[in-house]
Amino acid sequence: MPHPILRAAGLTKVVKSGDSPLTILDAVTFDVDAGASVAVVGASGSGKTTLLGLMAGLDRPTEGEVWLDGHALSAADEDARAALRQRLLGFVFQSFQLLPALTALENVMLPLELAGAADATARAKTWLHRVGLSQRTTHYPKQLSGGEQQRVAIARAFSGEPKLLMADEPTGNLDGATGVEVADLMFRLNREHGTTLILVTHDVALAARCGRRLSLASGRLVGDERIAG
């Protein structure tokens, strides 16, 4: 039976806005089962990216708790949270976040080397092959198309074999056809590896491909819909 890879309980984030507090997230609660694919949707300013940062332990909630694979983030200091992210999480961003001075291969190798992997080169080459970029390993980001750059980012995210992949608008900077190709790749890797996907997206078609849709409005969770396959 699936178990929650992530639990969010009463997540609230309040920041100062001038002289008055501004509530960005308001008592958001949900679980995500291992191997699931979940879209987080909502209008701009609804709290989606803030929620992603709290789930990843990149920011702390004003109230509430997040558990990653059973580990309470509030009980962990910054070093412990970073170690959890390195062990459990992969990230894909709208802006790709590749280092321009590194080749495709070096970009994928970097987090593996930082984690002390002795086989970083072989693993990076394997993942670039899996995303269809075997012939582009020595190319720099500026020599790659947007779709190719996002494939490198996906290879980098999956190379550490994370239990959970978080993506923030992963197709937002891509044209329609390229976005579909990148989405196909993410969902194929989700199926083959059982990696849980949490996607923050405005893309209605991408959200519809997930098994579940969480809807935010004004910082509140207003919808939790299971989507038929």
Would residue 27 be called left, alpha or beta, if left means φ above 0 and alpha means ψ between -120 and 50 degrees? left
* Residue 228, pLDDT above cutoff 70: no
For residue range 43-94, list pLDDT tens digits in order: 988 999 999 999 998 889 999 999 999 999 988 888 898 888 888 998 888 7
70, two tokens: 């059973």
| Number of folded domains that form the chain | 1
- pLDDT for the residue 205: 87
C-alpha–C-alpha distance, residues 117 and 111, integer Å: 9
Residue 224 has pLDDT above 60, yes or no: yes
pTM equals 0.88
- Percent of the chain that is helix, strand, coil (3-state, to 5): 40, 30, 30
CATH number of the domain residue 151 falls in: 3.40.50.300
Confidence of residue 188 (pLDDT cuts 50, 70, 90): confident
Distance CA 69, CA 87 (A): 11
3-state secondary structure of 62: coil
- For residue 157, give both structure tokens: 């995210």
**What range does the domain containing 208 cover?**
4-226
Cα separation, 60 vs 73, whole angstroms: 8
Cα separation, 212 vs 221, in Å, equals 13
Residue 60: Cβ-neighbour burial (10 angstroms; 0-12, 13-18, 19+):
middle
Residue 92 near residue 154, CB atoms below 8 Å: yes
